[in-house]
Amino acid sequence: MGTFPCRPKAVCAVAPPPPPNDPVTLRINVFQGSSNTPIYMAVERGAFARRGITPMLQFTPNSDQQREGLGLGRFEIAVAAVDNAVAMIEVAKKDVVIVAGGDGGMNELMVRPEFKQLSDLRGKNFIVDATNTAYALIGRKIFKNAGFVEGQDYTIKPLGGTAIRTKSMETPEGHSAMLNPPWSFVAKDRGAKSLGSTMDMFGLYQSSGVFVMRPWAEANAGTLQRFLSAYIEGCRATQDPANREQVLQTLQKNLKLERRVAEQTYQALTTPGHGLFKDCAIEMTGMRNMLSLRAEIEGQWGGVAPSPEKFLDLRYYERALPYVSR
């Protein structure tokens, strides 16, 4: 800690001093779910407190409100599917930047118990958060690959975040939805079934991550670096098998889970490619897949996705790494 790793036959540079731990309160807007585990673990292990940060979590009901809130300065940091940041940049023309990654989404296509296969969903509803971002796009791609014509063979119904979509599965209108832990396991307990994971049906995907307004990042670079150091520390702690019991207890406490569901959620979080990426870094293949999906389904960029670098500024993440406890 304090220096960057030396490469063979290279001059080992001394890392710049960490930013001062001036007390600061950060408003962090998230969906309620297991993708927040690195934040929960950073709180539990004192990673934020050691850096002078008081995190205030705000739970958003849907991505529309989250994107609007970030643009209006109602909070400093958003942690959610980074496709929302891309939508803010490309559609809303907001000066947003993605500064860190998270997980692969851990999503499954969940259906009511009477449906046995994808073809059974013809003429049925697909419940989403917003129609034009993230998991809705994966679902639309899965339906497209199955030969479904959107608006003709199935209907997209925007409802809100994962908890809301889970409840919808118990209603006559909630035929299918993309759900991730713990809600996918809650839905199964209530009778829903999975037609498969998005990892199997779509492939590697950059889902959750950290994004902020670029002007705020530039004006608060030290604060953002401190936040990311704590976030990465929480991510590492979650992925370390030695901390399994603490992670389970943290999931139970923060998401009000039964032990069995917490264990299922932990398994998903620690499954490579499906759950958390190492150190919550951006997974570049997953990032390219996410952009290609947007290009295909939404028709953006003339159907040809741009380079991920257009949406990323990983300088803050890279500066944070040397000050992360192992």
pLDDT tens-digit series, residues 170-218: 998 999 999 999 999 999 999 999 999 988 989 899 999 999 999 999 9
Query: Residue 72 above 70 pLDDT?
Result: yes
Tell me the backbone φ, ψ of residue 42, rounded to 5 degrees.
-65, -35
Cis peptide before 38 (omega within 30 of 0): no
- Check residue 9 and give its pLDDT: 37
Lowest-confidence segment of 13-17, 155-159, 239-243 by average pLDDT? 13-17
Whether the Cβ atoms of residue 201 and residue 142 lie closer than 8 Å to each other = yes
Percent of the chain with pLDDT over 90: 87
pLDDT at site 15: 56
Beta strand residue intervals within 198-254, DSSP E: 208-213
What distance in Å separates the CA atoms of residue 244 and residue 232, rounded to the nearest whole number? 17
Asked if pLDDT for residue 124 goes beyond 90, the answer is yes
Name the class of domain 108-201. Answer: alpha beta
In whole numbers, what is the pLDDT of the chain averaged over residues? 92
pLDDT digits (tens, 9 = 90+) for 128-179: 998 888 899 999 999 999 999 999 999 999 998 888 999 999 998 999 999 9
Say yes or no: domain 24-104+205-323 is CATH 3.40.190.10: yes
Contact between residue 209 and residue 235 where contact means Cβ atoms under 8 Å apart: no
The sheet that has 24-30: what strands, in order across it?
A: 53-59, 24-30, 77-81, 208-213, 96-100
Gap between the terminal Cα atoms of the chain: 9
Strands (E), 16-141: 24-30, 53-59, 77-81, 96-100, 108-111, 124-128
Start and end residues for every CATH 3.40.190.10 domain found in the chain: 24-104+205-323, 108-201
